[in-house]
Amino acid sequence: MAIEFNTIDNFDIEGKTVLVRVDINAPVDPILGVILDDTRMKLHSETLKELSDKGAKVVVLAHQSRPGKKDFTTLEQHTNALSKNLNLPVQYVDSIFSETTKNAIKNLKNHEILLLENVRFFSEELINKPSKEQSKTLVPQNLYPLIDIFINDAFAAAHRSQPSLVGFTPLVPSAAGRVMEKELKIIQNAFDNMEHPCVFVLGGMKADDSIDVMENVLKNGTADFVLTTGLIANIVILAAGFNIGKVNKKFIKDRDYCYLVKKSKKLLKKYGSKIVYPKDVAIENKEGRREDVSINKIPNYSIFDIGIESIKEYAKIIRGAKTIFANGPAGVFEEPQFAMGTEDILNAIASSKGFSIIGGGHIAAATTAMGFENDVSHVSSGGGACINLLSGKKLAAVEALKESANTIKRTKK
């Protein structure tokens, strides 16, 4: 794969002030307010430690949740978690571009690391616009005169076109951090060196994104089979002409996904048996227990997993694949009685000989929780970014990095 953006290797960073956008958004206990998982801190530690070791003055910009949510909070705790993972002291300032912040950045010494406040405390951060427009917003305008280089390592947020992600690239030399670089290389190389049969396992709740992926990978010939689970499976089963029960139809309607049923009908007509949907599903019956039923006779109870016969069929297809992409859990895996589909599919992926990529988000959490993270080829850190790539869409933050690299080339000429 030809790299079209700069990386850390393209710059001499000793003594330079380097602003690094990371994604250390973490689950927070709603009662105790403590961080429950520091996985993303571990991931970004490679980039931050390398920059510090090379003598950079490192300024870190990040977000936590969004306004209105219970876990929308300061990054004070993240400072301690980051420091622990880096085994280095991390300073913290409780603002984004106040005079206190600016002085803290100016006073940084080589090898030191400073974490700024939650960038989403500033309202402009939640607006998506092109990079040139975002470069005129207050966060980039206030911080760029203080920095020499911008590094974007936030792959998990790369599909967003927000000020802290794209606003610095028109203003200062910019590069991808190690997490961003690794994610893009692995996913692109998987596409460039595709081995068949190639199987996509699509599930979870983001039905619109997943059906975009389905359409893209079938249209371009990437996928030999698309195995549907979760809400996507319910939509496809309905599109195939089966009655999924009023409660499940209402669930689809309430999310304004009726148009996806029509779209799925067209895809089924065009691609036929390449789109695989469950032959049986698991419902929660009136006793509150799991019950596996044929799609020919689904009662009016919520569907929470794919059925046992479907699990067997899916596992057989997966084990025969040479390339596997999986995004989204098969059901409500948080409930032990409905975790079977997700667990058995992940077990099949882990035990297959094929190259496998697990999308981020819930499927990544399930992979780790079930102990399969070391048995798959790659667990992505970004669900939304990964699924956007798979559906053939461009990532705003990556395009901004490419444009920055091209600008530097033109300037040198």
Annotated binding site for substrate: 23-25, 40, 63-66, 120, 160
In Å, the largest CA–CA distance within the chain is 73
Residues 6+ apart with CB under 8 A from 406: none
DSSP H or E run through 20: strand 17-21
Secondary structure (3-state) at 245: coil
Secondary structure (3-state) at 194: coil
- The first and second tokens of residue 355, run together, are 């190259």
Binding site feature residues for ATP = 334, 360-363
In angstroms, rounded to a whole number, what is the distance separating the alpha carbons of residues 386 and 197? Answer: 21
Supply φ then ψ for residue 151, to 5 degrees: -120, 125
Binding site feature residues for (2R)-3-phosphoglycerate = 40, 120, 160
DSSP H or E run through 404: helix 396-412
Residue type present at position 382: G
Binding site feature residues = 23-25, 40, 63-66, 120, 160, 334, 360-363
In angstroms, rounded to a whole number, what is the distance separating the alpha carbons of residues 327 and 386? Answer: 9
- The first and second tokens of residue 111, run together, are 């090898």
> Alpha helix (H) ranges present in 144-294?
163-166, 178-192, 207-219, 230-239, 246-254, 258-271
Quickly tell me which residue has 């950079």 as its tokens: 56
**Contact (Cβ atoms closer than 8 angstroms) between residue 35 and residue 81:** yes
In angstroms, rounded to a whole number, what is the distance separating the alpha carbons of residues 214 and 300? Answer: 28
> Alpha helix (H) ranges present in 291-395?
308-319, 340-351, 361-369, 383-390
Secondary structure (3-state) at 122: coil
**Contact (Cβ atoms closer than 8 angstroms) between residue 390 and residue 325:** yes
**Contact (Cβ atoms closer than 8 angstroms) between residue 78 and residue 35:** yes
Residues paired with 324 in a beta bridge? 199, 356
Quickly tell me which residue has 């300032």 as its tokens: 93
Pairing of strands 198-202, 323-327: parallel
